Each structure stands twice: as C-alpha cells, then as structure tokens.
Chain A
C-alpha cells in the first residue's frame, strides 16, 4: 500500500522543486553571462532608451538558435525563462499534491492560479 500523501510530503517536494529550479537557472544565467562578457565586454552599453530586446531573443526559435550558436544573451535568457518557470512548476506540483490528498477544492484553486498565469502569457502576445 502506498503511504498516505500529507502536507508535510508536499512541503518537502515543493522545497526541492524551488531549490533545483533556482540552482539550475542561476547556473545557466552565470554561464551565459561569462560568454556574453567574453564576446561583448569591450563594447558600449546602450540601455538609456527603451528599444525592447534584440530580435533574436524575441521568439523561442531565436533563443534556441542563439543557444546552439553559443550566444551569451540567448543562454542568459534561457536561464531567466527557467527561473520564471520555477514558481509556476511549484503551483503545478501543488496541484498534483492536492490531487493525491484528495483535496479537490485546492486542486481547483491551483488550476485557477495556473489559468491566470496562462492568461498573462496570452495577454503579453496580444499587445
């Protein structure tokens, strides 16, 4: 028989999801940062006016291409996306935890929070 899944187990799992997410994403950002500085460190920064971000970082495909070509900023951006995904993964794991606890009210609440985040993603595209 499987041991009953309790709040304490969920807290343990959530703790690990967050820890791994932060460690992994920060390692990727650090690696990307080293490559970025190696390639562009001597250039002049231009951040005084808002011009968005370079075209190759605006799409998923562009970022993947950039990573394959070892472009530092694409690797940093991957790390940042992993970091943003960390708390979202935490909500997902909580939802699964509530299913195991058979707490369907909180399964619903977790799904609602995920839905709001998905709506944020879509609203970003709309503008």
Chain B
C-alpha cells in the first residue's frame, strides 16, 4: 500500500467518523482512533496525536457558530477551563508513561460508557436558588429560549470542577474531546441547561485539547502524514453532519448505528489491549 492510498483510506474513514460523531454529538475521535490502530495498524501514539488535532478543528469550528447565538456561557467555560486544562496537562504527561495496552483498555471502557450515556434521555432541571460560589464567580446567566429569555443558576460548583479535572485528564490521556464526561459535570452535577451545557462544553473542548496537543507536539505524537487526512476528513465530515442535522430531526436510528459500531470497536480495543497486541 502506497502513502497515497493510505492517505485516501484515512481521509474517507475520518470523513465518516466526523459525520457520525457530529450526528450523535460524541465527536470524531471515538471512531478515528480504532480505525487507525485496529484496521490500519498505526501506532496508538500517532492515532492519539492525530485525533486531538481533529478535536481542536471540529470544536473550534462549531464553537465559532454557537458563540454568536449568545447561548454559550463564556464565564462558565473560562472558569471550568482551569480544571480541564490542568487535567489535560496531567493526562498528556501520563500518556507518555502508561503502557499502550492500558491506554487501549481505558479507551474501550470510556467508549462503551459514552455510547450508553448517549442513548440515555437527559433530564433537564433548571435551578434558580442561589449558590454562593456561583454568585461570586458570576456563573449564573440567561439564554434566548423558544419562549423568551431563560434565567438559570448554577449549583454544586466544586463537584462540577472536580469532574472537569477528570474529563480533562481523560481527554489528555486518550486524545478525545471527552464531551460525554463534560456533559455529566455540566448538566448532571451543576444543573446547567442543555443548550448552555452543550455549547459551552464544545467551547471548552478546543482549549482543553490545545493544552494536551502542545505536549503531544513536542513528544512527536503529531505526525503530519497521518494528522493531515484525519483533521481534514473529520472536519469535513462534521460540517456535513451539521448540515444534515438542520434538515432532518430523526437521528434516532443513527444513534443506534453509532452505538453498535462503537461497542464493537470498544470490545476490539479492550481485547487487543488485554492480549497486548496494541
């Protein structure tokens, strides 16, 4: 197989990964890393490096569109970025010491967890009672809803902050956006409304990924030959995905397809990790 063919295969695979990732909201990294490692036998370090680059591209592209709508809460984002970048720094350093087969197993587990949590119905609870820390940090906000402006308060700031450190650590260790963990912190713990938590988590992913990418860059994880087709493919796929999302509302079956694909990949990753083939 020549480099040209290898590049085209990665480009097509990454496009599909970006498309699925955007339609389900889980991100492209989840499919890109197994594709590169299991199918194309690329070393997992290069796969993680290429994936983190694509995470920055898609989250920045999407954040640019969201931030104009005035739903993203920049203060929540900035405050929690202290946690995610710290976690990402630790995770990226860990990634250089942890044996690759452990990384593969952790990756598989997070993959299954994210797939399952994407199927679960999220319940929205908007709180209005005042949390002292949230007031001090000016985290409470409002956003333009369907029936006028929605006011919301943020609660359990400390718990959310610690969950974000963990989300950042996983992001740095595995080279993924770890959006599903950020969602747990933001709407599960801090009770931030969905629209705000989705856009704000996306807003934070770019900075979180940049913190680990600077480590990866210097450790030689970011190979231009692999990162080039991955980043272009995932970004184009995500763009197509966002166009489809606007036009069709029923993404139920796509979600199931994704969950099945992801679970199969996750089991493969775990199996390869345990048998030491990664």
Contacts and interface: CB of A to CB of B under 8 A. Distances in A.
Contacts of B224: 32, 36, 53, 57, 72-74, 76-77, 80
Interface string B253-276: 000000000000000000000000
A88 B214 CA distance: 11
A47 B225 contact: yes
A113 B112 CA distance: 31
Nearest to A20: B64
Given A8-B70, A105-B137, A120-B89, A41 B2 contact: yes
Nearest to A112: B82
Q: Is the interface of B mostly helix, strand, loop or mixed?
A: helix
A83 B63 CA distance: 14
A33 B56 contact: no
Which of B65, B75, B137, B216 has the most chain A CB atoms inside 10 A of its CB?
A: B75
B191 to A, nearest CB: 21
Q: Chain B: interface residue count, which band?
A: 35 or more
A19 interface: yes
B111 to A, nearest CB: 22
Given A52-B219, A90-B60, 17 more contacts: A11-B72, A11-B74, A12-B68, A15-B64, A40-B3, A41-B3, A47-B41, A73-B225, A76-B224, A83-B53, A83-B60, A84-B213, A85-B210, A87-B59, A87-B210, A109-B78, A121-B214
B231 A127 contact: no
Interface string A1-27: 000000110111011101101100110
B178 to A, nearest CB: 15
A69 interface: no
Interface of A: 7-8, 10-12, 14-16, 18-19, 21-22, 25-26, 29-30, 32-33, 36-37, 40-45, 47-53, 57-58, 72-74, 76-77, 80-81, 83-88, 90-91, 94, 103, 105-106, 109-110, 112-113, 116-117, 119-121, 123-125, 127
Given A73-B225, A120-B92, A33 B67 contact: no
